[in-house]
Structure 1
């Protein structure tokens, strides 16, 4: 298979996609995307980290539809490795691959994804448009996940409502805010569990995050431990179960001034919940 990119043509080739609630994505290309009878394919490439070689690809056959268009179906299984997957067209065997621009993206089935309980492992896929205008798929794959369902912010605290997917709360469950940097500093706000063993809430008092040193900046990562007996690793809180692939610059919460520090909750580049403390 020739996976060398084509830098001279196909920069405006567009593909429609439709996602369903089960994780299936249907890609739809015009029949003019290829120029002959050979069987075309759709290539999904897991974007490597900077400076690393390309390692993981997933290939889908493009089949003709009744209206002459070409369809490729990404089934829910196997689950995609967590990361960002870029899309390319392979017009024929041995031909250079062609990057694909987004057409229509029907993601309506993903909007209320948090309303449906997910089993373990929790696999999520969201088609999105990259910063340079191409179509890609954002994938998450986690043993369990704690979905943030709401955050209420005041000038002294934040109240978080969340729900577990792929796990349940047991005796000794606890919320943990851990300060990045390796010194082991942790805060444990009181966890209030729901009757179903999955829903929970907690309040983070901002002064507790700056009590040791109000001038020290830092980031607190938010997670929940489902029991106290040294079982599964803490589960990160985040917002994954909808149609938003990158929410860091979209969901922006108010800041609060506490002494000589500024505190604000935010979503990381992985859509996980953290709290940032900076100097005034």
Structure 2
């Protein structure tokens, strides 16, 4: 059996996209890891599966799996690629708003062009129990112990948990050590994406993200949203911010509490391919 897929990326954050609109999702965790291997497989940060919507208010559902085979709740760069994939499949017109269901809930997308997408990412969630993050009360900053030192973080959910650290030097070699430790910190019971953000001015940020289940990535859409949201809540950035990541720049718009956050960025096709699945593999969904 040959599994057809599309290889895509959003600002360097790369994906394999599967068409699950007619067939159940066919891969288990071990097979996802094999497909994700950059030496012996196809290679990706996340796997995306486009499927029929569970929510009747949505046109489609998309599943998300990290490179280690673990499920994810949201992926900002991924949903832009899903939108571009649906346009290529003839299911989404340029300029039309479409509601798509993610594992963490619905989002609204609109194609601005064949390779540029704007996404309503919902309102950032700062309540610790909903992130989830272990804290006695909601605050805009927390001090946590990490590898013998105290690190000051912001904690927020954009459909998945994020720890945001203001960092003056993104080339600091200590980040290679701190990123994985922060992602797996015990105060994040579901782990977290660890974002290290350098503020250039009130409208310009630079960011590196260590993603749970995927490691360091060239871009993280929800990470860009999280960094902007944390700094906006502190009054340190404006309502529109350009977030520069190693793979490209995303534009984030948020007017604060009571408003949804919008992300604009690119989506690109790389190639189409086929991947062999051993005979007798039982299909499953989710």
Structure richer in helix, relative to its length: 2
Structure richer in strand, relative to its length: 1
TM-score under structure 1 length normalisation: 0.28
Q: Choose between structure 1 and 2 for higher RCO, CA contacts under 8 A separated by at least 6 residues.
A: 2
Q: Which has the larger radius of gyration?
A: 1
TM-score under structure 2 length normalisation: 0.28
